[in-house]
Homo-oligomer: A and B are copies of this chain.
Amino acid sequence: MTEPPGGAAADGNEEIMRATHRALRDHGYADLTVQRIADEYGKSTAAIHYHYDTKEELLAAFLDHLLARFVDTIRDIETTDPDARLSLLLDELLAVPSETQGLSVALLEMRSQAPYNDAFREQFAQNDEYLRYVLKAVINHGIDEGAFVTVDAERTARSLLSIVDGGRTRAVVFDDASELELARQVASEYVDATLR
């Protein structure tokens, strides 16, 4: 479901997305029901089903919403210097959550369900494709400007996302946010080794 650019429907969706965020953060994915999201939304489940037929459809839309939020965040990165820009992107991708790890936990649960759930798999693939695209763009820009050596930018982007996903997985499994900080350093070491 594409979100309209504004108006009541968009506001409704935005509120549902926030309610979904809180429900996932506080209850995780496995036990999540539309009723719980409705409780957070402060309306009936029917009000949610007016927008989304199924829980899966709603959660896939939520993954799309997270991507849209990330797009907004990187739109705020004003520097065009490839080095600084790549560094800020990696900072964002491996940021330590401000509150709890609750949403990260729920997202790993949803990722683990991708093999069983077409909507999740497609949305995770789409989010990853966008991240690869953004990383590739800044790497190619750096190559053009002579800041980076010539590499296969697609491969380097995918390698960096592998480091990112390793840190994210470990931070959840071991309940240890320092895994994100370590992965951020590994990403820097990898950039130094392969792009300079």
Contact = CB atoms under 8 A, between A and B. Distances in A.
Interface stretch (A17-25, A34-42, A44-52, A170-178): A170-178
Contacts of A101: 115
Number of copies: 2
B112 A172 contact: yes
B162 A182 contact: yes
A82 interface: no
Contact of A125 (B115, B158, B174, B182): B174
A174 B128 contact: yes
A105 to B, nearest CB: 5
Contacts of A165: 165-166, 169-170
Interface of A: 28, 30, 101, 105, 108-109, 111-116, 121, 124-125, 128, 155, 158-159, 161-170, 172-175, 179, 182-183, 185-186, 189-190, 192-194
8 shortest A-B CB distances, which residue pairs? A166-B166, A193-B193, A162-B166, A112-B112, A165-B166, A108-B112, A109-B112, A159-B186
